[in-house]
Amino acid sequence: MRLISLDQCQAGIKLGRPIYNENGVVLLAEGVELTDKLIDKLKQYNVSIIYIEDEASEGIEIVDAVPEELRMEAINTIKVGLSDIAQLSVAHTNIQSMMKSGRAIRSFQKIFRGIISSLTENRMAINLLATTKIQESYVYTHSLNVAIYSCQLALENGLPLKDIEEIGLGAMLHDLGKLYVSRDILQKPGKLTDEEFEQVKLHCQLGFDTIRKVHEIPLPVAHCALQHHERIDGTGYPRGLTGDEIHRYAKIISVIDVFDAVTNPRPYRSAELPHKGLELLYAGSGTQFDSRQVDMFKKCIAIYPPGLTVKLNDGRVGIVSEYNFHAVGRPQIRIIQDAEQQRVQPYEIDLTAQENLTLEIVEAAALLPS
């Protein structure tokens, strides 16, 4: 099985996994043979990537550290929870009464326990490939990604369950304050003015002020919202904190937040490939970001996981067949097309081998959704 961009899809291809709508309902089942009409319909629904089964990817197994069903449940929980809080702000209603004695918080905690259980049982690098479904709001998917990655990084830190749950909740709510920032500003395709950027920066304080009023939420969770844009050299916001002035949870979440943000498309820029996201973190390691957290994060994620279709700088196309934990940006690849894009008898190359060190991945359409 492998993952390809829908733009690369042709009639006759068989789905390797189901395609869901935004509510978790199956639109197309595993094994369905796609037609031109179905492909056009998927494009209308903004589906950009699909899992397929073909001879070229035979034997390549895609393993999820967090099951698709749990991801779908988490997305819906985030949608309901954040929507409730947003309505409360508009209505000026008491948050605790509207959350009905912390029902939303208990739902979040239930999700985290499921995520933590899955991560603990599997203990593998997290697959960055998302569930194939109708595209969700960036806020929801970003919140879930940051929560999952943060839980994995917290496990890597050897933290107790209580701390991991708090970090997960803090990660899921870290951008809560953006609900109170103008959508026109958040979705502006061009560069923000200084005044607009000041409005965006307010989301840290606004999120903190909302979360700390909810007695069911531990105070460190509120500090995740407040401090996730702080940098250890003092160049962050809103308070310009340095070093140990920044809460240890926020140091974890800040690393994840930046990585997920730069590897996903935004209205004002395209997405970066995962190894470029890691390079950005390492460029700021020890100055902006806690170097220990950056090093451990690299061990937590499979930036080019098995099943991903990639293009090399010499023009050849292949499928990642095996992940390399010692060189995360240089996996083993099963070549399926030559430099002229002609099909070839599949063969394996290892990007860590001496003779392949000049090769690098330059394109992975499935990781760069439009």
Q: What is the pLDDT of residues 103-154, one digit of tens each?
A: 777 888 888 889 998 888 876 667 665 444 455 567 788 899 999 999 999 9
| Nearest-angstrom CA–CA distance, 361 and 363 | 6
List pLDDT tens digits, range 160-184: 999 999 999 999 999 999 988 998 9
Same domain, 294 and 312: no
Q: What is the pLDDT of residue 165?
A: 92
228 shares its domain with 349: no
Q: How many whole angstroms separate alpha carbon 297 and alpha carbon 341?
A: 35
Render pLDDT for 258-268 as a digit per residue (tens, 0 to 9).
999 998 877 77
252 plus 317 within the same structural domain: no
What's the domain range around 291?
68-300
Q: Per the domain annotation, does 62 fall within a domain?
A: no
Q: Would you state the pLDDT for residue 31?
A: 93
Q: Give residue 26's pLDDT.
A: 83
Q: What is the pLDDT of residue 92?
A: 55
Location of structure tokens 């899921």? 172
Number of domains in the chain: 3
Q: What is the pLDDT of residue 131?
A: 47
Residues with Cβ within 8 Å of 39's Cβ and at least 6 positions away in sequence, in order, are 6, 9, 11
Domain presence at residue 109: yes
pLDDT at 101: 44
Q: Would you state the pLDDT for residue 133?
A: 45
Q: Do 30 and 17 touch, CB atoms closer than 8 A?
A: yes
Distance CA(305)–CA(289), nearest Å, equals: 25
The stretch 343-369 carries a mean pLDDT of 88
Its pTM stands at 0.84
Q: Determine the pLDDT at residue 272.
A: 85
What residues have CB less than 8 Å from 92, skipping those under 6 apart? none
Q: What pLDDT is attached to residue 179? A: 87
* Whether residues 48 and 156 fall in one domain: no
pLDDT at res. 194:
94
Are 242 and 153 part of one and the same domain?
yes
Computed on alpha carbons and rounded to an integer, the radius of gyration of the chain in Å comes to 21
pLDDT tens by residue, 293-303: 999 998 888 88
Q: DSSP letter at 285? A: B
Structure tokens at 310: 């990639």
Confidence of residue 91 (pLDDT cuts 50, 70, 90): low
Are residues 321 and 239 both part of a single domain? no
Same domain, 322 and 252: no
In a domain, 285, yes or no: yes
pLDDT over 90, % of the chain = 50
More confident residue, 351 or 17: 351
Spatial contact of 250 and 228, defined as CB atoms under 8 Å apart: yes
**Angle of helix 68-91 versus helix 103-122 axis, rounded to 10:** 150
Q: Quick count: other Cβ atoms within 10 Å of Cβ 94? A: 10
Q: Which of 300, 316, 339 is the last residue of a domain?
A: 300
- Mean pLDDT is lowest, of 45-54, 123-132, 243-252, for 123-132
CA dihedral for 30, 36, 40, 43, sign (positive or negative): positive
Mean pLDDT (whole number) for 244-255: 97
Q: Which residues pair with 333 in a beta bridge?
A: 320, 349
The answer to whether 304 and 320 have CB atoms below 8 angstroms apart is: yes
| CA trace torsion 278, 284, 286, 291 (10° rounding) | -20
Contact 302, 321 (CB under 8 A): no
Asked whether residue 172 falls in the same domain as residue 276, the answer is: yes
Residue-wise pLDDT for 229-242, tens only, equals 999 999 999 999 99
Question: Are residues 312 and 295 part of one domain?
Answer: no
Q: How far apart are CA 87 and CA 307, in angstroms?
A: 41
Quote the percentage of the chain above a pLDDT of 70.
Answer: 89
Give the per-residue pLDDT at 229: 98
